[in-house]
Structure 1
Amino acid sequence: MSNDPKPPLETALSALLVPLAQAMVAHGVTLGSATEALKQALLTAAEQSTDGKLSDSRASLLTGLHRKDVKRLRNTDDDAPLKRSCNAAALVISYWSTTPEFLDDLGAPRTLSGKGDENGPGFDDLVRRARVDMAPGTVLETLIDQKNVEQVGKGKLRLLSQAFLPSACSAEQVAAYEATLSAHLAAATQNLLAEPGAPRNFDRAVRYSHLSSESIEELRQFSSDRAQTLLQEINSLARELQDKDSNGDHSGRFAAGAFVLPSPQEAQSKNPKEDE
């Protein structure tokens, strides 16, 4: 039996997976489903790290997957219509809350008609302006189902939230969970794998302990307010730049996020080893 210490990433893996495992248990995802997802992820990572075509044998060597699994996984469709629907809904809300044509005299998102009226462009125009590759009716259905938009009067639509906030425990919330965490994890992983001296993504966090519940609440409110303001400013600038770039054939992507994790003393999990 080897006494050699585990590689650092292998040691960190368990802690990284615990929050994900909590979500899996809560949603009834078993080991079999998780294993299948991990196999697909390993194959995707191997393909992305290799220039040119990756043979089944080479993929098997890099990942530890059986060649039969490699062949099977390569013939599996990976379609994610729900994720695209959530992304489209979030983008439409972004344009609705920042684009002058869709704001009232006070700078707030105005109530829209479906096709447009004497007050200006309507919801269908908004979807086209946001360059969403989905039918306006499909996007609207998602926004109404998630209670981000309500119908008022005859054919009028009112925006209830300037951020796409899916209903708790909904499939849309899971899709948003995936989109947010995958982007953050990708940024952190790129930093981990970056060569010495190479540019790195901005990824910072502030952590404090030994705080009272009152102090935690003050920090939570302060951080949430400041982060919301910053994200709204980034949202406005990104929308303006996307409009400016709309005449060119551009495919670049950008993501920025923020998280706040208040952990009152009674909510902190204990290390099982402390009780041994």
Structure 2
Amino acid sequence: MGDTDPFSKAGAFDRAIRRILRPLVRALISQNVTVTAFYRLVKQTYVEVATEMLGQDGTDSRISVMTGVHRRDVKAFRSLSDTSDQTDQRKASMLSTVVGRWLSSTGYVDADGRPVPIPRNAEAGPSFEALVQSVSRDVRPRTVLDELARQGILTIAEDRVHLLLEGLVAPADMDQRLHFFAHNLGDHVDAAVTNILSDTPPHLERAVFYNALDAEALRDVEAEARAIATDALRRVNAKAAALQTADPTDPEASHRFRFGIFFYSEDETAQTQPAKTEGQEPDDDQ
């Protein structure tokens, strides 16, 4: 058989993967994650993905052949059980659903779709307690209130609760930031990978790119993009919330989606200076 390793050709796939890895490696280095530790994560992820792809046919030997991970490591990785991500996901889902309903429910937004302050408790009509209980009665409203306040997503003034839209962009809790970092970026990459592997790309994934703009023009474009994005997210949220509550007992309601928007900019004249070398070290075998 000929060489089928796409990286041996140093072609477009090689360049694409390295481009995707660069910001991730920057995050890894900032968290003191060495290449050895990262390699273990890569091997574990290879095993997890191969296990999902093979299903019931995924024996340790087949996964080892498919991934190149040693059979001993395959067995060790498959025996691991990590429930921390599930805990973070349940927490994030609860908080996101409460905020989402606040942004989409009648009585909780004004005529322009902006969230209005609501009382903490009320015998009738909108209130924070009623909002939380509409999502789940298993969690105390005070617990959700304290957590959202701690993350800078809401504030309380004169016994009324105010939703802070700017807090939704970057919650103070690092676990929550990492959760959305993983799931937002993960779903985006998943959509992009599915598109490049399909003859007919099924997922929406589009971007606008311009260069040769001065700083003032860039600020104008970003302000316009933020305004459009906020409106788009609000409208999609309202549409999805209405459809979700239309028939809560629908047995076919097993699908999910994630609609996201990002804006990235940089100064292309700010070139990174090469690291200063301190002399060449001899090879180990010299």
TM-score under structure 1 normalisation? 0.83
Kindly indicate whether the alpha-carbon contact (under 8 Å) linking 2:50 and 2:63 is maintained by their aligned counterparts in 1.
yes
Report the counterpart of residue 260 of structure 1 in structure 2. 263
Separation of aligned partners in 2, 1:58 and 1:190: 24
Separation of aligned partners in 1, 2:69 and 2:146: 41
How far off its partner does 1:111 sit?
A: 3.8
How far off its partner does 1:51 sit?
A: 4.4
Deviations 1:192-224 (A, max 9, x none): 221x2x342111111122222222222211212
Task: Name the SS of the counterpart of 1:150 in structure 2.
Answer: strand
**Mapping 1:93-132, distance limit 5 Å:** 93-103=99-109, 108-114=114-120, 116-130=121-135
How far off its partner does 1:262 sit?
A: 1.9
Deviations 1:98-132 (A, max 9, x none): 10143468865344455x41352433432343369
Aligned amino acid, residue 77 of structure 1: S
Aligned amino acid, residue 8 of structure 1: A
Deviations 1:84-107 (A, max 9, x none): 322321221111121014346886
Residue 170 (structure 1) aligned with residue 142 (structure 2): no
Kindly indicate whether the alpha-carbon contact (under 8 Å) linking 1:57 and 1:67 is maintained by their aligned counterparts in 2.
yes
Residue 144 (structure 1) aligned with residue 146 (structure 2): no
Residue 9 (structure 1) aligned with residue 13 (structure 2): yes
Change (3 A) 1:210 1:84: same
Separation of aligned partners in 1, 2:185 and 2:48: 18
Change (3 A) 1:153 1:214: closer
Report the counterpart of residue 240 of structure 1 in structure 2. 242
Residue 84 (structure 1) aligned with residue 90 (structure 2): yes
Separation of aligned partners in 1, 2:124 and 2:108: 9
Separation of aligned partners in 1, 2:137 and 2:67: 36
How far off its partner does 1:271 sit?
A: 8.7
Query: Which of residues 24, 31, 37 is equivalent to 1:33?
Result: 37
Aligned length: 266
Specify the structure having the higher radius of gyration (Cα). 2
Task: Name the SS of the counterpart of 2:165 in structure 1.
Answer: coil
Change (3 A) 1:206 1:172: same
Separation of aligned partners in 2, 1:60 and 1:161: 47
How far off its partner does 1:263 sit?
A: 1.5
Deviations 1:69-92 (A, max 9, x none): 111111212321224322321221
Kindly indicate whether the alpha-carbon contact (under 8 Å) linking 2:98 and 2:132 is maintained by their aligned counterparts in 1.
yes
Task: Name the SS of the counterpart of 1:247 in structure 2.
Answer: coil
Report the counterpart of residue 283 of structure 2 in structure 1. none
Report the counterpart of residue 192 of structure 1 in structure 2. 196
TM-score under structure 2 normalisation? 0.81
How far off its partner does 1:44 sit?
A: 1.9
Task: Name the SS of the counterpart of 1:205 in structure 2.
Answer: coil
Deviations 1:40-81 (A, max 9, x none): 221122122224330011111111111121111112123212
Change (3 A) 1:24 1:4: closer
Report the counterpart of residue 207 of structure 1 in structure 2. 209
5+ residue gaps, structure 1, are none
How far off its partner does 1:36 sit?
A: 2.5
How far off its partner does 1:264 sit?
A: 2.7
Kindly indicate whether the alpha-carbon contact (under 8 Å) linking 1:227 and 1:258 is maintained by their aligned counterparts in 2.
yes
Change (3 A) 1:104 1:232: closer
Kindly indicate whether the alpha-carbon contact (under 8 Å) linking 1:89 and 1:164 is maintained by their aligned counterparts in 2.
no
Q: Give the alignment's Cα RMSD to 1 decimal.
A: 2.9
Report the counterpart of residue 281 of structure 2 in structure 1. none
